[in-house]
Chains A and B, each alone.
Chain A
Amino acid sequence: MNLKISALDYVQEVKTGNISAEDFVAKTLERIKNVDDALHAFLSVNEDAITQAREIDKKVKSGKKVGDCFGMPISIKDNICIKDSKTTCASKMLENFVAPYDATVITKLKQQDAIFIGKVNMDEFAMGLTTEFSAFGPSKNPWNTDYVPGGSSGGSAVSVSAFECIASLGSDTGGSVRNPASFCSTVGYKPTYGLISRFGLISYANSIEQIGPLTRTVKDSAFMLNMISGIDPNDNTTIDNKNEDYLSGIDSGIEGKKIGIIKEMMGDGIDPAVLTATKDAISKLESLGAICEEISLDMVKYSVAAYYTITATEAGSNLARYDNLRYGYDFSLEGYEFNSYISKARRNFGPEVTRRIILGGFVPSAGHAGKYFLKALKVKSKLTKEINEAFKKFDLLLSPTVPILPFKLGEKIDDPISLFLVDINTVTANLTGKPAISIPFANSNGLPIGIQLMANSYQDKHLLQAAHALEQTVSLPEVSL
């Protein structure tokens, strides 16, 4: 049984009867059992997965209609609700929270006969980019377990990279799908804002976050997007994509496409190996017929400060609901006054979430809003104008996904500013609502490097075509774990 196959190959194999969903799911669970003690991608595993797979095999054998996933095992970031399953957000505050309903993406995947093999680790409430801020311990990078896997969707990337599932869903607020995808050598896709419903995604910063797939190949991301995108009455920010087929024409290539290379994303602090890989990617795209040219985006250097100001503000508001009365852990009410009870109960948030809640109270407060929050919104507006101008000239924008290589666990955990700067290349897509993808492209001394492509809003299909073309130019090693 080859657990390394792509989603599309898996579907074909089950459809034609070459493999059974039950066997594949059983082997996947065995793989999780064998490797996850070392990797800690999973927070919980679906004990009913084999039974569910057996049901799908029955449907295949009896000639009944089967959904497009054919029992494909998918891992789900633990901030996306699956009815009657724990959804912890990797937080002690929600350690025993069982979701009473399905997120829209889960409903859609259930309709397509996906199997949710387990819920995966993340930074607490998606605040972080190493998975070290999980209340349940960090995930480890399967390429070298001394290194961080990226975050906040670190468990998603690890589970795909280490063959513990075929695909995963993460969420991307400032790069949280693309960053771990780059660090673990998987594809990570952040769609145009509104393309995928956020209903059932536990909110961090609603105005910029999106659910996105992490997969082995670009085609698999397009396949996932076909199933989970589209308008949703439960999320008023969703857009009607007219059931666009993101897989069709994915081999169209990029001949004649104009690609802007963002100067500010390749500047000070970039690792020489990342720079070399990026230059190599540019050469390969040019050899495929693309026209590459440097572009400067002045606002990029302010984007991280604007991003953290906006997200802290939204997080401060979103996390106010965790008062331990409606949701929460076992903490007796007796002997407390109302406000002191809530303040005490909220001590169960981890250090990073606590910092962001405090920041979220500070930056929009009277006396400071003009200096921080309003200015951040203005940077966001100006950055969006700059990007929109850029897309009048270019079809795509390119940069390394992350300017540095994966780093060691614990190396940056006490230095929030150096962690902030890891986000410099990814937050622009979130602040401007544009689609962006990280494509595995190189490997330096055993550590992966991803290349990011960004497109204009609603150009997701063209972005996937370009990403597929770039992906075809490289052959990368696999995790040897």
Chain B
Amino acid sequence: MVTEEEIEQVSKLMRIDIDDHKEFVEKVHSMIDYFDILDSAGVESEEISMPEISILNLRKDEYIPFDDKLIEKLNHYKGTYVRAPKMSS
């Protein structure tokens, strides 16, 4: 059972304000309930396999000049810095 407090905590961690926790509890709960089907898949002993990706063909680690000033595409900047609100102390 997912509680309203858990949803609130997760939304805080994921840094997204939500208006109606109850609505989200209901919908997220029905989704999580559905995911419980994974319990009957019988995969406990299965190993997780990940595709191997070669690191030999990585793109070159080099500076690529850019025609425009990218910083000017941002909403908030000053000089060559991104502007952001103050961190709480």
Contact = CB atoms under 8 A, between A and B. Distances in A.
Interface of A: 98, 100, 231, 233-234, 236-237, 299, 301-302, 305-306, 308-309, 316, 320, 323-326, 328-331, 333, 336-344, 346-347, 349, 354-355, 357-363, 365, 371-372, 374-382, 384, 416-417, 420, 433
* Nearest 8 A/B pairs, CB to CB: A378-B43, A378-B46, A361-B14, A361-B10, A233-B59, A346-B16, A341-B85, A302-B41
B24 A358 contact: yes
A338 B87 CA distance: 5
Interface in B1-34: 2, 6-7, 10-19, 24, 27-28, 30-32, 34
A187 B18 CA distance: 39
Given A100-B66, A362-B28, A346 B17 contact: yes
A382 B46 contact: yes
Interface of B: 2, 6-7, 10-19, 24, 27-28, 30-32, 34-35, 37-41, 43-44, 46-49, 51, 53-55, 57-60, 66, 68, 70, 73-76, 82-88
A336 B17 CA distance: 14
B8 to A, nearest CB: 10
A388 B6 CA distance: 39
Given A344-B17, A416-B30, A302 B10 contact: no
B84 A372 contact: no
Contact of A417 (B17, B31, B38, B48): B31
Nearest to A374: B48
Contacts of A360: 14
Nearest to A368: B32
B46 A359 contact: no
B48 A378 contact: yes
A309 B35 contact: yes
29 contacts: A100-B73, A236-B57, A237-B51, A301-B37, A302-B40, A305-B35, A305-B38, A308-B31, A308-B35, A325-B84, A333-B85, A337-B87, A338-B87, A338-B88, A339-B88, A347-B19, A355-B28, A358-B7, A358-B10, A358-B24, A359-B31, A362-B28, A372-B32, A372-B35, A372-B38, A376-B38, A381-B43, A381-B48, A381-B49
